Amino acid sequence: MDIECSRLLPSVCAVLVDPKQFVADDTCLEKLLDWFKTVTEAESSLLVLQENPCLTELLFHVVKLQDVNSNILSFTLRLAGIFAAHENSFQYLQQGEVLLSLFSEAGPLSRPAWEDPSVRSGWIQGVGSMVQHERAVQFLCDCGAIDVIFSLQGDPSLFVASTASQLLVHILGFTMHSRRAVPLTTQDCDWPVCARMIVGHIEESLRSGTVPQITQALNVLTTLFGRCHESWTEVLWMRMNPFVGSLLEKEPLLAAHSLVDLFLSMARSPVFSHLECDLWILSTRALNRLSPTQSGPLALGILNLKDCPQTLRTKAFNILLQPLACVLQAASQPTGSPGLLDESLNDSVITDILLSSKSSCAGLLCQTLAHLEELQPMSHLLIDWPHVPLLSAVMTILRFCSGLATPASSVGDRLCGILIGCFRVQRSALDFLGTLSQGPSPSELIRGVVEILLVYLKSPDSSPTVLKKAFQATLKWLLSLSKTSTSSDLCPQTQHFLRDLFPILQKRLCSPCWEVRDSALEFLTQLTKHWGGRAGFRQALLSSEVPELAEDLLRDPESYVRASAVTAMGQLSSRGLCSNPIGTGSKNDEKKSLFLELLEILSTDSEGFPRRAVIQVFTEWLREGHTDVSKDKEQFVTKVLQVVSCDLDWEVRVQGLELALVFLVQTLGQHETECPYAVEMSSVTQSTQLTESLQMLCHMKLFDFIFSALCDCDRPVARKSCDILLYLKAKLAHHGSLQGSGEACTESLGTQNTAWLETTLRKWKARDQGQPSEVADRGDCQEPDDVLEVLRSVDLEGLRGTLAKSSDHIEKSPQSLLQDMLATVGILEENEADCY
Amino acid sequence: MPEIKVTPLGAGQDVGRSCILVSIAGKNVMLDCGMHMGYNDDRRFPDFSYITQNGRLTDFLDCVIISHFHLDHCGALPYFSEMVGYDGPIYMTHPTKAICPILLEDYRKITVDKKGETNFFTSQMIKDCMKKVVAVHLHQTVQVDDELEIKAYYAGHVLGAAMFQIKVGSESAVYTGDYNMTPDRHLGAAWIDKCRPNLLITESTYATTIRDSKRCRERDFLKKVHETVERGGKVLIPVFALGRAQELCILLETFWERMNLKAPIYFSTGLTEKANHYYKLFITWTNQKIRKTFVQRNMFEFKHIKAFDRAFADNPGPMVVFATPGMLHAGQSLQIFRKWAGNEKNMVIMPGYCVQGTVGHKILSGQRKLEMEGRQILEVKMQVEYMSFSAHADAKGIMQLVRQAEPDNVLLVHGEAKKMEFLKQKIEQEFHVNCYMPANGETVTLLTHPNIPVGISLGLLKREMALGLLPDAKRPKLMHGTLIMKDNNFRLVSSEQALKELGLAEHQLRFTCRVHIHDTRKEQETVLRVYSHLKSVLKAHSVQHLPDGSVMVESILIQATAHSEDPGTKVLLVSWTYQDEELGSYLTSLLKKGLPQAPS
């Protein structure tokens, strides 16, 4: 702890214990605790206590105060816990029995303040911090704290109850870990006292027959088996097994979700993952007993395991497939396609759920689809992943939802009535359909997929969220189709799809809903990115009005759409797929017109998103050597930076610097590498080239932009500028250009800050303004020497270190926190309840 | 038993990140999804892991509702939908949907600018999140699914702020978000109809305060700015991009116009234009005065307020600058503050709350020597003023809203425990309803008594009317019939119709009882004695002597037989249907007492 903090601490403690004073901002107390935690971890906590007696006094004082503010009491409990975590501090505090007064039943438990959940939370967190050594555990057992923790498991506050359960796990784990050497049996006498108490409590809870208690006990076991993988947990399970097993026999089944969590937590533990473990029997029994919505997560968890008995996996997989099998069966004609499951379905329960109400039907289907979607990437591990029937099932669901299906059975009829227009199921089904693009699908089914996707993309009833998913699924299918085709161009099926797709895309680009226009543009960008070079795609695109419509959207009233249109147009232009503006002449002019249009957006758009998109497109064009940009790179960069330098959005300025960096690298070459085999040019040639390059860069006013960015009030801009200048410095130093000519230069080497730079920049400006107008017009505001002087003088390395810190690192320091707490007392009371 | 459960994850006994979970008739709704600006780590967002311990969030939550665009109500939304993984519907009003992304973007930029934080939502995430939002109109009933519906009411407070009614069947709750019961310069007062919800969840920021009028504060603000400018000083007003900035711009613009002032006013972010665009677009959400004057002069087109350039900060002479961010913790506002802090002629006006750890918080708490980078000390000589313009309902306003909505229960959020306690007692005393104030993480469970609508068949109604029971709206009436449940609906129909609809055959259940009486006469005579006895006793009922020798009272049948072993005893066989069970029992007890002596 630094001296200044030590000096401030007594006053802060005095404020905290003074009931007349008021600490307005409870975040201060939280941050103060964060700091104490750091301090006690970094140095001896006992020394901190001894050197700052105000801390112990604070604890004593709060213990004695009868009418203490609950926030302060809670803070004190947590503070005591942080110090008591270290054995010597624990003993130190115990000498005065302060811990007993805080954590035993005679402490806050008996006070009215205990009614406040923040106090109970403070108590339990304090205890939690403390349990780092055996003495603390012994202390908790002796003072009755363990029983308090048991009772807090049922606390009305979720936060307290959950922390209490986690604390029991921590204490049990800690106690057993320290007894590792002693062999263990299920006999009670073998277990340490504290562990015996906890295990006894869990057993009692499991026997209780009341749902909250059973849930608490199961949650403790779940967390324990999840966190602790030591061998004693197996002995513990031997004790728990009969109780848990009997829960599975109960009618109705209690705490089903918690049972699922327990089995999955155990299944993931290496202690229980061997194939002889009775866990698998229980899991199988659970799969039989649980309702379809409850068994889904268990089945998914089992299938995600690396090792488990094959019969269980098969059962789990069948459970996941059942709802979809039911849908397929409901839809199928008597002589229809094969179902999802070979075995005869005992589907009455599932049918009941699917037909009982819209929400239960949607709930079960969405859950199943999401689970299968999660499994799909592992489908190669599942021997019998029924790709084709699953595809049929999801398409059936999508047909039901859109009212396209003509089910043959009465169940299908009713299902269709329930699902029609259900956006929730449509979204899940489209997500899963997209995922199924990864797999071998027969061509007649692909035709079906294409048809259904077109239906959704075309449907006027599709909501924007459904349309977005439809676009995403379409993209996945299109890309997978191109992967399977062997030729370099698109297969006829895809060509056909595209022919149908573009008119729909045109319509969607004109949607009155901005979300739809935006999703359509994003889709176009992605498709162009992947297929921009394929003749079939180019032909289909250019024969549609899509490029013109996309260009029109550059003037969309919604900024998000303008930004997406910019990105799309940037991509189209890169691939030479730009539209022909009406009434323009040569191709050359067309490209220029897009550049000017984007430049216009960059300089005038009132919002950041489109401007950011433009500068990103420009950077990309420069990076990839867009033909039109390459013609006159200098002019392109100069024009863009001229606009960017005035931008109010710092992200645009940062991206502008990125563009400058790309240009610099293209002009001066990559960062220096120490490649021994590199062909070196003669130093004279290089030096001449560098001087010429510098002249050119000065002429472009590139350094104006970079230097003023170094003084920018927005940290990321200054940081980026600093990085560029360091690159330049390294580049120039390598070739000796930075070696000063006089003594004065070496003296000021790397010592100046940005204030000096600002003054220098102002000086240059004044100098330029004083020059004859023709010189100023030429733009020679700086000479290479000026640039070299800046690079020589400014302490760029130091600056980089400063800029790497957060801009509020001083305000965030502990010293600042303590000062704020002292300054705030009584003053901010009036403002405390204000909000943003 | 049907119940409503409420668990605040934020705003329970505090004014932090609002996030309240409501479970009503099996539907789960999240009300607001705010962030706490006082933290830079995970603690800034509500702990969403408590929403559901089992299963996916999207399966558990039926929808998220955002009351208004302030970050303590919507700041965690992109994190929740794009990083935590909620993929369901989100509802907010049209203006909130338009303005929300601006503020989220503004905050994202400040956060990234300040620390270069990487574990924060991106611009793309904000957009993707906003694309999931369904915008709603005021008083439009939106069907979230077949059972759950929501409806927005005007809340004042800020542009687009709304209170939301959530309804499942006959059970409902209203969440106020932040609201203001008195109209201000550009917004109207909150209003809700007498919707009598089971529960009203109301904010209670000013639970114990009766606030002075906002006009006083505005006058004070103008006076201070004017005085500073008059003496040649510069005024810095740190603001967030949208909200208070526009309010104050209107104030200054009007004042400058009226006083014919010349000192320049600048706005440092490029966002004014967009913000003003929205105020114009949603003119119907502003108050009547603004709407009326809009025809003559658009209040959001500023003549005096111009865009700021960094170089202007060094210009000599007076000026007023609105700069972001609002707490002086990064960027432009902090840079200008550093330049101007040393001059006592200048002034900084903080128009909103500042969290600890910002320069704004420091100067508001009276600190005048601030440590800057490199151990430099910045001496603050400029004047520092705090002015709260936040528009919340005060104690009077909250009571007024409760009176207006007539809820069965009230639950207080978004306030401090002590103040809530006071208001709670007041509400309970005045309205005789239960009032709750759960802390974060605490669940309040309310039992409800939902009305279950039952359809009545026309046939049954006609039959009742034929009996002379004409329907009367003011008087509840007892109806008899068979209640059947079909296609998830309840219907009361005649028993014949029920049998027909359910395809069941009718069976009659009769209760029988044997009563032994001593009578030496023949059976027919005994029956006659029974007949005349009952006729005299049960005058109100129809008592018949049937040709087959039995007696019938309503549906009750009485026959007499001789006792097989004792000819002096007659056995009366009484049988009745369940409809006449009462009469049947009475009759049996009557007969058991014996027959009156026959006149000799």
The CATH code of the domain that includes A490 is 1.25.10.10
Percent share of chain A, pLDDT over 70: 88
B48-66 average pLDDT score: 90
Nearest residue in chain B measured CA to CA from A367: B59
All residues of chain B having their beta carbon less than 8 Å from the beta carbon of residue A519 are 131
Among residues A663, A568, A671, A567, which one has the least CA distance to residue A609? A567
Would the pLDDT of A605 be above 80? yes
pLDDT at A252 (0 to 100): 86
* Model confidence pLDDT, tens digit, residues A679-716: 555 666 667 777 888 888 888 889 889 998 998 888 89
What value of ipTM does the predicted structure carry?
A: 0.90
Would the pLDDT of A776 be above 50? no
Of A260, A359, A807, the CB nearest to B114: A807
Among residues B475, B566, B465, which one has the least CA distance to residue B517? B566
A519-543 average pLDDT score: 93
- Listed residues A419, A449, A482: the one ending a domain: A419
* Model confidence pLDDT, tens digit, residues B266-293: 987 655 566 667 777 787 888 777 777 6
Residues A380, A473 share a domain: no
Would the pLDDT of A346 be above 60? no
Encoded tokens for B268: 């440092």
Question: Between A366 and B541, where is the model more confident?
Answer: A366
| pLDDT interval class at A795 (50, 70, 90) | confident
Residue B266 forms beta bridges with which residues? B306, B321
A84-112 average pLDDT score: 89
For residues A360 and A355, what is the distance between their CA atoms, to the nearest angstrom?
Answer: 8
Say whether the peptide bond before residue B596 is cis (omega within 30 degrees of 0): no
pLDDT at A682 (0 to 100): 60
| pLDDT interval class at B119 (50, 70, 90) | confident
All residues of chain A having their beta carbon less than 8 Å from the beta carbon of residue B92 are none
Q: Tell me how crowded residue A292 is: count the other CB atoms within 10 A of its CB.
A: 21
* Model confidence pLDDT, tens digit, residues A435-481: 999 888 888 889 999 999 999 999 988 899 999 999 999 999 999 88
Number of residue pairs across A and B with CB atoms under 8 Å? 206
Residues A355, A329 share a domain: yes
Residues A448, A559 share a domain: yes
> Which of A730-739, B8-17, B89-98, B111-120 is predicted least confidently?
A730-739
Q: Which residue has the tokens 């990864």?
A: A438
Whether A802 maps to a domain, the answer reads no
Would the pLDDT of B456 be above 50? yes
Residues A403, A342 share a domain: yes
CB A551 within 8 A of CB A593: no
Residues A572, A451 share a domain: yes
Q: Any residues with CB less than 8 A from the CB of A194 and at least 6 apart, and which?
A: A137, A138, A140, A141, A146, A171, A172, A175
CB B174 within 8 A of CB B410: no
Among residues A221, A368, A261, which one has the least CA distance to residue B52? A261
* Model confidence pLDDT, tens digit, residues B291-312: 776 655 566 677 888 888 878 8
pLDDT at A777 (0 to 100): 45
For residues B33 and B17, what is the distance between their CA atoms, to the nearest angstrom?
Answer: 7
A504-512 average pLDDT score: 95
- Pairwise CB contact (< 8 Å): A31 & B357: yes
Whether A441 maps to a domain, the answer reads yes
For residues A279 and A289, what is the distance between their CA atoms, to the nearest angstrom?
Answer: 15
| pLDDT interval class at A278 (50, 70, 90) | confident
Whether A243 maps to a domain, the answer reads no
Whether A762 maps to a domain, the answer reads no
Would the pLDDT of A774 be above 60? no
B217-222 average pLDDT score: 88
Whether A343 maps to a domain, the answer reads yes
The count of domains in chain A is: 2
Residues A477, A370 share a domain: no
CB contact burial A64-87 (16+ within 10 A = b; e otherwise): ebeebbbbbbbbbbbbbbbbbbbe
Of B70, B367, B386, the CB nearest to A831: B386
All residues of chain B having their beta carbon less than 8 Å from the beta carbon of residue A560 are 101, 127, 130
Residues A485, A406 share a domain: no
CB A23 within 8 A of CB A825: yes
Q: What CATH number should be reported for the domain whose range is B214-386?
A: 3.40.50.10890
- Pairwise CB contact (< 8 Å): B146 & A370: no
- Pairwise CB contact (< 8 Å): B358 & A808: yes
- Listed residues A528, A554, A580: the one ending a domain: A580
pLDDT at A585 (0 to 100): 42
For residues B92 and B32, what is the distance between their CA atoms, to the nearest angstrom?
Answer: 10
Of B116, B270, B357, the CB nearest to A606: B270
* Model confidence pLDDT, tens digit, residues B504-521: 888 888 889 999 888 888
Percent share of chain A, pLDDT over 90: 54
Domain of residue A379, residue span:
306-419
Of B113, B147, B353, the CB nearest to A836: B353
Mean pLDDT, chain A, rounded, equals 86
Q: How far is CA A469 from CA A305, A365, A500, A651, B171, in A?
A: 30, 17, 18, 30, 34
All residues of chain A having their beta carbon less than 8 Å from the beta carbon of residue B56 are 367, 370
pLDDT at B128 (0 to 100): 96
Question: Between A139 and B523, where is the model more confident?
Answer: A139
Gap from B83 CA to chain A (nearest CA, Å): 17
Residue B577 forms beta bridges with which residues? B510
Question: Between A490 and A402, where is the model more confident?
Answer: A402
All residues of chain B having their beta carbon less than 8 Å from the beta carbon of residue A604 are none
Q: What CATH number should be reported for the domain whose range is B3-210+391-447?
A: 3.60.15.10
Q: What CATH number should be reported for the domain whose range is B510-593?
A: 3.30.310
* Model confidence pLDDT, tens digit, residues A818-831: 999 998 876 545 44
A788-812 average pLDDT score: 83
For residues B539 and A684, what is the distance between their CA atoms, to the nearest angstrom?
Answer: 135
- Listed residues A539, A555, A580: the one ending a domain: A580
For residues A296 and A716, what is the distance between their CA atoms, to the nearest angstrom?
Answer: 47
Of A118, A357, A560, the CB nearest to B127: A560
Burial class (CB in 10 A: 0-12, 13-18, 19+), A741: exposed
Nearest residue in chain A measured CA to CA from B420: A833
> Which of A266-270, A573-577, A742-746, B593-597 is predicted least confidently?
A742-746
pLDDT at A584 (0 to 100): 36
Q: Which H or E run includes B168?
A: strand B162-168
- Pairwise CB contact (< 8 Å): A158 & B442: yes
pLDDT at B272 (0 to 100): 57
For residues B350 and B80, what is the distance between their CA atoms, to the nearest angstrom?
Answer: 31
Write down the domain spans for chain B.
3-210+391-447, 214-386, 454-468+478-502, 510-593
Residues A407, A351 share a domain: yes
Residues A453, A573 share a domain: yes
Encoded tokens for A760: 């220098």
- Pairwise CB contact (< 8 Å): B371 & A367: no
Would the pLDDT of A411 be above 60? yes
* Model confidence pLDDT, tens digit, residues B321-365: 998 888 888 888 998 999 999 999 999 999 887 888 889 989 988
Among residues A422, A435, A309, which one has the least CA distance to residue A369? A435
* Measured distance between the N- and C-terminal CA atoms of chain B, rounded to whole angstroms: 65
pLDDT at A692 (0 to 100): 83
All residues of chain A having their beta carbon less than 8 Å from the beta carbon of residue B310 are 713
Q: Which H or E run includes B455?
A: strand B454-456
- Pairwise CB contact (< 8 Å): B355 & A27: yes
Which are the catalytic amino acids of B?
A: 203
Q: How many Cα atoms within 13 Å fall on the side-chain side of residue A772?
A: 2
Residues A576, A462 share a domain: yes
A165-178 average pLDDT score: 93
